């Protein structure tokens, strides 16, 4: 009798096909976990197939598409706080607003403590001199982008905050999956953020439940707000845990192109008698000394957009790193503050102590490892950024002040 034909797959007793495993080529096994842990400058490295020359090259391929704006990405102050409110601020001769980021937290009382401290800056009897709004610098929500998650991490801790809230998204706001590979509650990136911040018209979103908070109708996840004393550009720097991007081959140039167009319009609107402050807000920090690394590719994009439009910001505000850090950048004869305020309630990530020493065109001026917020004040001649620390009982204490003379573009 003829013998049965043996399976051609070694070791396969079931007869099912299995993957053959060849010998590992140890010459191709990396010494470190990624090929960019090296002292070799980027411009002298060989490109790694399918990866590139930098960690950023790989990360840039993993970004999420930026949702298109619902309408023209511009807002007036009246669209946020009403015509009467905008007129009161114009009459007062200054605009104030709050800023902090990285607030999403449903297991700690720190977000509530910071919120309650900011609420103390409001005087209902004098709305014109009270903050116009709170500019959230991203990471409103961590890992639970559902109505229940927004209620716990956003509406609940801000239930006593009297002002309107606008926001730029952080990386966690756009995520689809948690660290354990389960859903964050979103089927498409930023759908929960847009449901709460980018409504067709001002209204109380379903996630607020019985907490009455009329949310504004932002046109999208990136925008510009035109106020009597400042133009504020908000950018979305995508979902990377490390560095941020406003453009990349995987997401295109739409946001950057819009930024160039917007900056040119602001430049053209300036006259000798009417020179408003220009502030840029973005979640990932261009400079950082703790918590997260600086976003160099994003800064290059911002610089290129500013160069094309022949205008540079008077200040740039960011978060992402959970600390307060303040820098001065010396560029084009200007002294421009760059601040990191990721101190809104999520766990602190310590930053290195600031030394104030200027290296090249940058100095690291101040740092604080604790919770707090910024109060920004803009008049026709000055831009002031005050950082306040906050304790567990919502007591606030001044920590660092920056004043920019808008006529000279120098720090006072």
Q: What pLDDT, on a 0 to 100 scale, did the predictor assign at position 4? A: 45
Does the structure show a pLDDT above 70 at 250? yes
CA distances from 113 to 35, 107, 393, 396 (A): 43, 13, 6, 10
Q: Is 221:66 a contact under the CB 8 Å cutoff? A: yes
Mean pLDDT computed over every residue of the chain: 93
Of 64, 90, 62, 65, which Cα lies nearest the Cα of 76? 90
Asked, for residue 198, whether it belongs to a domain, the answer is yes
The verdict on 270 and 136 lying in the same domain is yes
Q: Is 202:214 a contact under the CB 8 Å cutoff? A: yes
Q: Which two tokens stand for residue 200?
A: 């067709």
The verdict on 402 and 292 lying in the same domain is yes
Sheet holding 164-167, edge to edge: 164-167, 133-136, 95-100, 372-378, 382-390, 396-405, 410-411
In whole angstroms, give the CA distance from residue 305 to residue 331. Answer: 14
pTM over 0.85: yes
Packing angle of the helix pair 296-309, 254-269 (nearest 10 deg): 40
The verdict on 50 and 167 lying in the same domain is no
Asked, for residue 4, whether it belongs to a domain, the answer is no
Asked, for residue 12, whether it belongs to a domain, the answer is no
The verdict on 90 and 158 lying in the same domain is yes
Last-in-domain residue among 16, 46, 62: 62
The verdict on 57 and 74 lying in the same domain is no
Asked, for residue 7, whether it belongs to a domain, the answer is no
Asked, for residue 194, whether it belongs to a domain, the answer is yes
Q: Which two tokens stand for residue 329?
A: 């950048």
Q: Summarize pLDDT for 355-411 with one digit per residue, the tens.
A: 999 999 999 999 999 999 999 999 999 999 999 999 999 999 999 999 999 999 999
Q: Is 200:215 a contact under the CB 8 Å cutoff? A: no
The verdict on 262 and 326 lying in the same domain is yes
Q: What value, to the nearest 5°, has the Cα angle with vertex 27 and ends 22 and 10?
A: 10
The verdict on 131 and 161 lying in the same domain is yes
The verdict on 158 and 227 lying in the same domain is yes
Asked, for residue 85, whether it belongs to a domain, the answer is yes
Q: What pLDDT, on a 0 to 100 scale, did the predictor assign at position 357? A: 96
Q: Compute the CA torsion angle 345, 350, 355, 360 (nearest 10 deg).
A: -90
Residue 11 — pLDDT band, cuts 50, 70, 90? very low
In whole angstroms, give the CA distance from residue 372 to residue 400. Answer: 11
Phi/psi zone of residue 209: left (φ > 0), alpha (ψ -120 to 50 degrees), beta?
A: left
Q: Is 87 helix (H, G, I), strand (E, B) or coil?
A: helix
Number of domains in the chain: 2
Q: Summarize pLDDT for 56-73 with one digit per residue, the tens.
A: 788 888 999 999 999 999
- Which helix (DSSP H) or strand (DSSP E) does residue 374 occupy? strand 372-378
Range of the domain at 241: 70-411
The verdict on 189 and 300 lying in the same domain is yes
Does the structure show a pLDDT above 60 at 233? yes
Strand pairing category for 358-359 and 277-281? unpaired
The residue to which tokens 């550009």 are assigned: 233
Q: Summarize pLDDT for 163-193 with one digit per residue, the tens.
A: 999 999 999 999 999 988 899 999 999 999 9
Contacts of 24 (CB under 8 A, 6+ apart): none
The verdict on 124 and 239 lying in the same domain is yes
The verdict on 94 and 49 lying in the same domain is no
Cα 183 versus chain centre, distance: 22
The verdict on 351 and 279 lying in the same domain is yes
CA distances from 64 to 7, 168, 173, 174, 252 (A): 46, 15, 11, 8, 11
Q: Which two tokens stand for residue 340?
A: 């990191």
Q: Any idea what the CATH number is for the domain that residue 260 is in?
A: 3.60.21.10
Residue 263 — pLDDT band, cuts 50, 70, 90? very high
- Which helix (DSSP H) or strand (DSSP E) does residue 55 occupy? helix 55-59
Q: Summarize pLDDT for 146-167 with one digit per residue, the tens.
A: 999 999 999 999 999 999 999 9
In whole angstroms, give the CA distance from residue 172 to residue 238. Answer: 9
Does the structure show a pLDDT above 70 at 8? no
Q: Summarize pLDDT for 293-319 with one digit per residue, the tens.
A: 999 999 999 999 999 999 999 999 999
Last-in-domain residue among 62, 90, 107: 62
Asked, for residue 288, whether it belongs to a domain, the answer is yes
Asked, for residue 36, whether it belongs to a domain, the answer is yes
């Amino acid at each position: 009798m003829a013998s049965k034909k043996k399976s051609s797959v070694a070791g396969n007793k079931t007869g099912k096909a299995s993957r053959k495993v060849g010998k590992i080529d140890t010459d191709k096994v990396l010494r470190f976990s990624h090929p960019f842990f090296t002292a070799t400058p980027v411009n002298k490295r060989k490109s790694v197939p399918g990866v590139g020359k930098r960690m950023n090259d790989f990360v840039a391929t993993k970004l999420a598409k930026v949702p298109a704006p619902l309408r023209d990405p511009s807002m007036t102050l009246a669209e946020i706080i009403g015509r009467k409110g905008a007129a009161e601020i114009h009459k007062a001769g200054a605009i104030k607003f709050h800023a902090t980021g990285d607030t999403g937290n449903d297991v700690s009382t720190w977000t509530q403590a910071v919120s309650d401290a900011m609420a103390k800056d409001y005087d209902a009897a004098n709305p014109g001199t009270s903050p116009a709004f709170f500019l959230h610098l991203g990471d409103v929500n961590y890992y639970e982008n559902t109505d229940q998650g927004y209620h716990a991490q956003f509406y609940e801790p801000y239930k006593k905050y009297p002002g309107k809230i606008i926001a730029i998204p952080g990386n966690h706001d756009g995520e689809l999956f948690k660290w354990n590979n389960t859903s964050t509650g979103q089927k498409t990136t930023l759908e929960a953020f847009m449901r709460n911040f980018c409504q067709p018209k001002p209204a109380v979103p379903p996630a607020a439940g019985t907490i009455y908070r009329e949310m504004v109708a932002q046109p999208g996840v990136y925008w510009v707000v035109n106020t009597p004393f400042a133009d504020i550009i908000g950018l979305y720097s995508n979902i990377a845990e490390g560095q941020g991007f406003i453009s990349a081959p995987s997401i295109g140039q739409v946001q950057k192109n819009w930024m160039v167009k917007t900056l040119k319009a602001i430049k053209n609107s300036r006259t000798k008698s009417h020179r408003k402050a220009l502030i840029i807000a973005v979640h990932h920090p261009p400079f950082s000394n703790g918590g997260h690394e600086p976003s160099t590719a994003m800064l290059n994009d911002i610089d290129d957009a500013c160069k094309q439009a022949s205008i540079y910001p008077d200040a740039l505000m960011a978060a992402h790193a959970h600390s307060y850090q303040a820098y001065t950048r010396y560029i084009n004869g200007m002294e421009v503050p760059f601040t990191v305020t990721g101190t809104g309630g999520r766990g602190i990530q310590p930053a290195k102590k600031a030394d104030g020493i200027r290296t090249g065109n940058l100095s690291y001026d101040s740092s604080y490892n604790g919770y707090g917020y910024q109060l920004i004040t803009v008049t026709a001649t000055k831009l002031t950024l005050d950082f306040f620390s906050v304790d567990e009982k919502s007591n606030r204490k001044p920590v660092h002040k920056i004043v920019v003379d808008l006529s000279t573009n120098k720090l006072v």
